[in-house]
Structure 1
Amino acid sequence: MAQQGTHDGVTEDEAALYDRQIRLWGLEAQGKIRTSHILVINLDGLTTEAIKNWVLAGIQRLTLIDFRPHTQWNDLSAGFFWREEDVGESIDRLTPAAARIQALNPLVKIEVLPSSSLKDLLDPSSSSLADLKPSVMVIGIPSGPQSLSAQWNKDSLITLNDRSRQLGIPFYISGSQGFNGFIFSDLGDSHQYVIEKPEVNAPLPASTVEGAALAVPSSSKRLEKVKQEFVPLRKALDKTWKGLPRAQLRRQKPSLGYLGVLALWELSGDGKIPSTEELASTCKSLIEERGLDLKTLLVSEEDFTAFIDALSISLSQPGEFSPTCAMVGGVLSQDVLNAIGGREAPLVNWFQLEGLTGSGQIHALSTPPSSIIPPTAI
């Protein structure tokens, strides 16, 4: 029997399957999600969490590729799409995971690319990325010692982000280091989205019984279209806090976790794990270069040492901390769905989770404020 169509191409069967989320973000947004294609480079615990949500939300297509050909024992720490029998060199890394992802939602097309094609995909002179035509590209930075390889250092990520911008592909980077995790997003020069705003009541009359009755907030809502300009990674990383008054610095100060990621990127390239002293020295240099100090960051020397020790341990230990992956992966999945559906304000443009302090901060790195699009321009 042919499926009956509804609005925005969503069939009646899909409307029944995705009923709860259609009620949450609307049929138009669901229509955009059902035609979307997400490319994930590197399957790890963090991207596993996000993929689960994307597939259950009803994206059209998911393409997976990983620089690692096989599954290792440490992948089982947070990668719940693998089992013990999947570990070893006789089994392709992504094949068993893809089968379990498919079981979540048979309506989603799952495609696995061989590890050998990753070089082509990352090559700016190749047309492979353009041919895939993803709606969104997500890079999962591997954890532990593998995060320090030249393939995932700052220059490589900047080059890949520049390539995605040329092709108009929204771009995300995510990664975890023990208790910490981060997300960087670049949705292009003019990302537009819709938010709901309550209707503003007319000015209240004089204080009377009738006026008090009219003072009840309006339950009606209006849609407001907003534009947000994002910046590429190279510009975001140039952000400094030099010259800002101390009061403003305290309000806008970056998290120590963000500066720790920058330190790791500075020290990556040869795969060698830096010493604790190198890590601390690089991190303090970056803090100073950006017009900051530990006092401004509200971090004591004792807390700084504890942070560096934890970061250093995360580099030497393969595997991921599952709670970190769950929290950051949840934020990543929701933001990607919002970006595709054009609903709700996006993450602008760096999210940093710090497990030791229990905080999750969003840093607007070199991005201008959002602007409302007048109704006449919509």
Structure 2
Amino acid sequence: MGEKLSAVEAELYDRQIRLWGIESQEKLRAADVLLIGVRALGAEIAKNILLSGINSLTILDDRTVTEEEQPRNFLLSKTSVGKKIAEEVLLKAQMLNPLVKISADTDCPPSKDVSYFKKFTIIVATGIKPDLLLKIDKICRSEKIKLIFGDAFGMFGYSVSDFGKHTYYEDQIKLIGKKRKHDGSDKTSVKVKGEINYPELNKVIILPNTKQSADSIKKSKRRNELFYAMLALMEFKNKHGRIPNIETKKDDIESLEEIKKEIFELYQVDDSKSKITKEIFEVIFGEVIPVCAALGGVIAQEVIKAVSNKEVPINNVFLFDPITYDGKEETVGV
């Protein structure tokens, strides 16, 4: 149940209370959020959920700030280079919303045990390997914690959600009586309840050599092929322990092409008819700030929906098209 808002909070969040209601704002006020990874994408997510008025934000990231990364992350300063990124973002993050409790954790994410994750309402993960993601998802499902994961690679980005058995409410316009009027008095807004049962992530993220069946995903004849590009990038991280690097671009694209063939074989996709060509892999290098901003806004909005139970969330994959620059929603593993 959400906590009651103070007079200061009610004034600060007045505009969004008008948008999604006092009950939803109180649920946000009670939410404790864990953000794993606070590079350029993580910084955008942090900004948006801090402004929404959550109770607390814990930033888990053991990496240090590099000279290349510092200009791309608006929560960092020039003096941050060489220091722990989770601690360096705290000052500017706190300035975004002084009412939210913010803390940094510089431990390595894989070192955390079950008890660590149990205290959060929702976990937002970026930049972690798929095996750790699936481990965290098992914990989240057993403890009824919501989870959303996302990454940005150059012009391409995606998010995957597991909100378990999620109930939501949306406002719909309903006509009153049989006669239509033109002054608006014949309409009213009603709250309609809905429910989505999210599949666990090991039924959504099925990679080569995992010895899992992909039959449930192969059933869809109209799957957006960017989903397979997402899987290729996940498998690249599993295989190489890193993201594609512009300094090794030629070799990395060749590796992605080989991984793509393995994924197409697993999912029985006809490579000769595929739209996933080298053109896609040419634009997945580096951190493109506008893409991080757009994807960070989408992920933060899903966090707000998940916590507040207000409006219909994405079920369950979001793909940012690197060619057309628009977003695509996919339902996978259901």
Q: Give the deviation of 1:10 after TM superposition.
A: 1.1
CA gap of 1:56–1:153, structure 2 versus 1, over 3 A, is closer
SS in 1 for 2:283: helix
Question: Where does residue 345 of structure 1 map in the other structure?
Answer: 312
| Partner AA of 1:260 in structure 2 | A
Question: Where does residue 120 of structure 1 map in the other structure?
Answer: 111
Question: Where does residue 85 of structure 1 map in the other structure?
Answer: 79
The reply on whether 1:236 has 2:204 as its aligned counterpart is yes
- TM-score relative to the length of structure 1: 0.77
Q: Is the 8 A contact 1:352 1:360 kept in 2?
A: yes
Please, what is the CA RMSD of the aligned residues?
2.4
Counterpart CA distance in 1 for 2:215 and 2:311 is: 25
The reply on whether 1:191 has 2:166 as its aligned counterpart is yes
Question: Where does residue 323 of structure 1 map in the other structure?
Answer: 290
Q: Is the 8 A contact 1:195 1:224 kept in 2?
A: yes
Counterpart CA distance in 1 for 2:291 and 2:13 is: 28
The reply on whether 1:9 has 2:4 as its aligned counterpart is yes
Q: Is the 8 A contact 1:193 1:345 kept in 2?
A: yes
Counterpart CA distance in 2 for 1:357 and 1:287 is: 23
Counterpart CA distance in 2 for 1:191 and 1:240 is: 21
Q: Give the deviation of 1:95 after TM superposition.
A: 2.1
Q: Give the deviation of 1:94 after TM superposition.
A: 2.2
Question: Where does residue 271 of structure 1 map in the other structure?
Answer: 241
Question: Where does residue 129 of structure 1 map in the other structure?
Answer: 117
1:39-54 superposed matches below 5 A: 39-54=34-49
Counterpart CA distance in 1 for 2:269 and 2:186 is: 45
User: Greater CA radius of gyration, 1 or 2?
Assistant: 1
Question: Where does residue 146 of structure 1 map in the other structure?
Answer: none
Counterpart CA distance in 2 for 1:107 and 1:49 is: 19
Q: Is the 8 A contact 1:171 1:186 kept in 2?
A: yes
1:153-164 superposed matches below 5 A: 153-164=129-140
Question: Where does residue 101 of structure 1 map in the other structure?
Answer: 93
Q: Is the 8 A contact 1:153 1:269 kept in 2?
A: no
SS in 2 for 1:220: strand
Q: Is the 8 A contact 2:280 2:322 kept in 1?
A: no
Counterpart pick for 1:56 among 33, 51, 58: 51
The reply on whether 1:253 has 2:223 as its aligned counterpart is yes
Counterpart pick for 1:304 among 266, 270, 277: 277
Q: Is the 8 A contact 1:60 1:108 kept in 2?
A: yes
Q: Give the deviation of 1:261 after TM superposition.
A: 1.9
Question: Where does residue 373 of structure 1 map in the other structure?
Answer: none
Counterpart CA distance in 1 for 2:198 and 2:273 is: 27
Q: Give the deviation of 1:168 after TM superposition.
A: 1.4
Q: Give the deviation of 1:218 after TM superposition.
A: 3.8
Identity, in percent, stands at 27
Q: Is the 8 A contact 1:198 1:218 kept in 2?
A: no
Q: Is the 8 A contact 1:253 1:296 kept in 2?
A: no
SS in 1 for 2:158: strand
1:29-40 superposed matches below 5 A: 29-40=24-35
Q: Give the deviation of 1:350 after TM superposition.
A: 0.6
Q: Give the deviation of 1:214 after TM superposition.
A: 7.7
1:127-175 deviations in Å (ceiling 9; x for gaps): 2222xx111101111xxxxxxxxxx332222122112211211011110
Question: Where does residue 372 of structure 1 map in the other structure?
Answer: none
Q: Give the deviation of 1:239 after TM superposition.
A: 6.2
CA gap of 1:214–1:358, structure 2 versus 1, over 3 A, is closer
Q: Which runs of 5+ in 1 are unaligned?
A: 1-6, 142-151, 204-210, 368-378
Q: Which runs of 5+ in 2 are unaligned?
A: 206-213, 245-250
SS in 2 for 1:221: strand
The reply on whether 1:289 has 2:280 as its aligned counterpart is no
Counterpart CA distance in 2 for 1:350 and 1:82 is: 30
SS in 2 for 1:63: strand
The reply on whether 1:73 has 2:67 as its aligned counterpart is yes
- TM-score relative to the length of structure 2: 0.87
Q: Is the 8 A contact 2:3 2:30 kept in 1?
A: no
**Number of residue pairs matched?**
317
Q: Give the deviation of 1:355 after TM superposition.
A: 2.2
